[in-house]
């Protein structure tokens, strides 16, 4: 695994997770080359920026996240992820509401939302509601996200589940994997029942069984 850009130290917000992730990578026999990028990919190999040639049956390129270029048509003041600044009601311009991975919405006084489904889904609900409410001349609602959690699948080494922006590890290994599987089973919205669809749409965030719950 080669990773360029930020060093481990610069990614200090991930520190509580680091031990869990490194143990999982060790268990799976994954070698890390930090501060390294890929300069060439060929038939059966990849070349790293330090000159090393690595034989590979497959190369998986995970190049990070950035918002659609369309955001530049809405704002000249996008954040470092290319997202549009919005107010509490997700309005960017008098006639434009922004949702999901393109919205730099405030989670709280210190954090903006993550480009992840736990925020994209409620952002879409609120932006859609507010766009309709604005047209109808009825009160708009604020974006009120639920508690922030992270659940990282670590393949054969299980998963790690954290709570809060300081990413307190609540479950790891097989216990973390159980949480991940619960989440994956619960995030799918109803698609064939109008009453359930409307009920789900009415909740900005859904209380899910993200165990363990204890702080
Ligand atoms: C590989 C991968 C794994 C992920 N895993 C997780 C995970 O485990 N947990 C998690 O929380 N999040 C995960 N995410 C992030 C999550 O998928 C996103 O945060 C979420 O889908 C964002 O929703 P969205 O509606 O803002 O954008 P999207 O889901 O990207 O939807 C945008 C839609 O707009 C369409 N579109 C784009 N441009 C135009 C255009 N010009 N005209 C018309 N349509 C257009 C696109 O085709 C797309 O259908 C993952 C993302 C990826 C890529």
pLDDT tens digits, one per residue of 33-47 = 888 999 999 999 999
Arithmetic mean of pLDDT over the chain: 88
Pocket mutation for ligand 1, best pick of 64, 70, 90, 100 (most atoms within 8 Å of C-beta): 100
pLDDT digits 0-9 by tens, 45-76: 999 999 999 999 999 988 788 999 999 999 99
Q: How far is the CA of 117 from the centre of ligand 1 (A)?
A: 8
pLDDT digits 0-9 by tens, 101-130: 999 999 999 999 999 988 998 999 999 999
Q: Is 117 in the pocket of ligand 1 (CB under 6 A)?
A: yes
Take atom 45 of ligand 1 and give the residue whose Cα is closest. Answer: 68
* pLDDT surpassing 50 at residue 9: no
Take atom 35 of ligand 1 and give the residue whose Cα is closest. Answer: 68
So where are the chain's domains? 2-55, 69-136, 149-201
Q: Is 184 in the pocket of ligand 1 (CB under 6 A)?
A: no
pLDDT above 70 covers a percentage of the chain that reads: 89
CATH topology of domain 69-136: FAD/NAD(P)-binding domain (3.50.50)
Q: How far is the CA of 2 from the centre of ligand 1 (A)?
A: 25
* pLDDT surpassing 90 at residue 190: no
- Which atom of ligand 1 is least distant from the CA of 123? 26
Question: What's the pTM value of the predicted model, to 2 decimals?
Answer: 0.86
d(CA 163, CA 150): 6
What DSSP string describes the chain?
-EE-SS-TTTTGGGHHHHHHHHHHHHHTT---EET--EEEEETTEEEETTS-EEE-S-----------GGGGGT-S---TTSPEE--TT-EEETTEE--GGGEE-BSSSS-BPPSSHHHHHHHHHHHHHHHHHHHHT-----------EEEEE-GGG-EEEEETTTTEEEE-HHHHHHHHHHHHHH-SPP-S-HHHHHHHHT-SS-----S----
Q: How far is the CA of 101 from the centre of ligand 1 (A)?
A: 7
- Which atom of ligand 1 is least distant from the CA of 65? 53
d(CA 126, CA 14): 29
d(CA 15, CA 113): 19
What pLDDT is recorded for position 212? 55
Q: Is 150 in the pocket of ligand 1 (CB under 6 A)?
A: no
């Amino acid at each position: 695994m080669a990773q360029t850009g930020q060093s481990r130290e610069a990614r200090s917000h991930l520190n509580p997770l680091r031990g869990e992730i490194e143990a999982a990578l060790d268990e799976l026999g994954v070698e890390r080359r930090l501060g390294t990028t890929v300069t060439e990919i060929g038939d059966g190999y990849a070349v790293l920026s330090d000159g090393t040639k690595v034989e590979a049956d497959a190369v998986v390129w995970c190049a990070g996240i950035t918002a659609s270029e369309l955001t530049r048509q809405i704002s000249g003041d996008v954040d470092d992820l290319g997202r549009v600044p919005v107010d509490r009601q997700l309005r960017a311009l008098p006639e434009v509401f922004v949702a999901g991975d393109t919205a730099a919405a405030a989670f709280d006084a210190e954090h903006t939302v993550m480009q992840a489904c736990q925020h994209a889904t409620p952002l879409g609900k609120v932006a859609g509601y507010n766009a309709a409410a604005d047209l109808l001349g009825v009160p708009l609602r604020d974006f009120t996200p639920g508690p922030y959690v992270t659940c990282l699948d670590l393949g054969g080494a299980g998963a790690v589940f954290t709570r809060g922006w300081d990413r307190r590890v609540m479950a790891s290994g097989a216990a973390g994997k159980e949480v991940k599987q619960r989440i994956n089973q619960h995030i799918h919205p109803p698609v064939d029942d109008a009453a359930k669809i409307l009920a789900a749409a009415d909740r900005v965030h859904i209380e899910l069984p993200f165990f363990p719950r204890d702080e």
